[in-house]
Structure 1
């Protein structure tokens, strides 16, 4: 009787191990942050506005080394975020825009940066503190009228990585 219980326990463990391997990394990968307002490209993917690949399920996971200027954070699996031919909806905004980040894991923050092309248009100090669940920044885009793609970067304080979000706007 005891031998049967051990055999059943062993078989159950062997059957569950592959499931835990598949589920475990997804839980780890699903925790970070992105700009949800105005809707970033990954937010548009998650909402089904634009047809995208895997980023639809993990809009908060566009993480890569600090210093990049790409919408996909250097991740090949999110390359569609760099594709300007996709039908990204551009939010109509005035010259000052409020960008709202949503976080699923609140890493200590070095800074937030905003770029139009290679020009840094705003930077905010994160004071090496954990942010609340959402953070909003007002950015003056008055010098950049018309259709623009803003790159928003969340620089993590205690790693060499950052999180990236591109937001399409019609400024003015």
Structure 2
């Protein structure tokens, strides 16, 4: 009887990797422009909580903007332990200088790549309030740049060159969304910029 229990336990242990092969282990964050998560991880911003140790972990439901994280929780991907990313801090997050209508190369660091549908980039509307929690009403809900991957797995360093929205000035936020192909999740990165 004891031998049978041992064999059952061993079979279960051997089968476990097969069960887990369908789980998304992809994780990533944007370094250009630097996201809030990345700024926390390099110490450019303090009082960040757990995100400083895992900037790649802002994974939430995909389907943005129709679905995904709730308004006011977009930057944290709806994960309460990363809520510091949703705190607008009175509009004091550090910004990157961008040129409206110019060409820009967005960069992601993927700590674990995964089959990908696309990378998409959204920007806040003119007149948005940088001191209020980020909502869909504050964003242009049509991405200004979409990079399709059609289920392919990207490399661990990803760069997408595209044209920035024209006519923008002042402080804005860019939301990068990495849509995973074979799970119900996406990764969300918020970057504060000045045009």
TM-score scaled by structure 1? 0.77
- When the two chains are superposed, the root-mean-square deviation of aligned CA atoms in Å is 2.0
Query: Residue 30 of structure 1 contacts residue 61 of structure 1 at CA under 8 Å; is this kept in 2?
Result: no
Instruction: Tell me if structure 2 keeps the 8 A contact 1:113–1:122.
Output: yes
Question: How far off its partner does 1:140 sit?
Answer: 2.2
Q: State which drifts further: 155-164 or 66-75.
A: 66-75
Unaligned runs of 5+ residues in structure 2 are 1-23, 124-138
Rounded to whole Å, the distance in 1 between the matches of 2:169 and 2:159 is 21
1:43: how far off?
0.5
- Give 1:19-168 correspondences, 5 Å limit: 32-51=27-46, 52-66=48-62, 67=64, 68=68, 70-85=74-89, 87-94=92-99, 95-116=102-123, 117-119=139-141, 120-141=143-164, 142-168=166-192
> Is the Cα contact below 8 Å between 1:44 and 1:88 reproduced in 2?
no
Structure holding more strand per residue: 1
TM-score normalised by L of structure 2? 0.69
Q: Which range moves more in the overlay, 143-152 or 98-107? A: 143-152
Q: Which has the larger radius of gyration?
A: 1
Q: How many residues align?
A: 144
Assess, with a 3 A threshold, how the Cα gap between structure 1 residues 125 and 30 changes in structure 2: closer, same or farther. closer
TM-aligned CA deviation for residue 107 of structure 1: 0.5
Q: Which runs of 5+ in 1 are unaligned?
A: 1-28
Distance 1:130 1:139 in 2: 20
SS at match of 1:129: coil
Q: Mean alpha-carbon deviation: is it higher for 44-53 or for 77-86?
A: 77-86
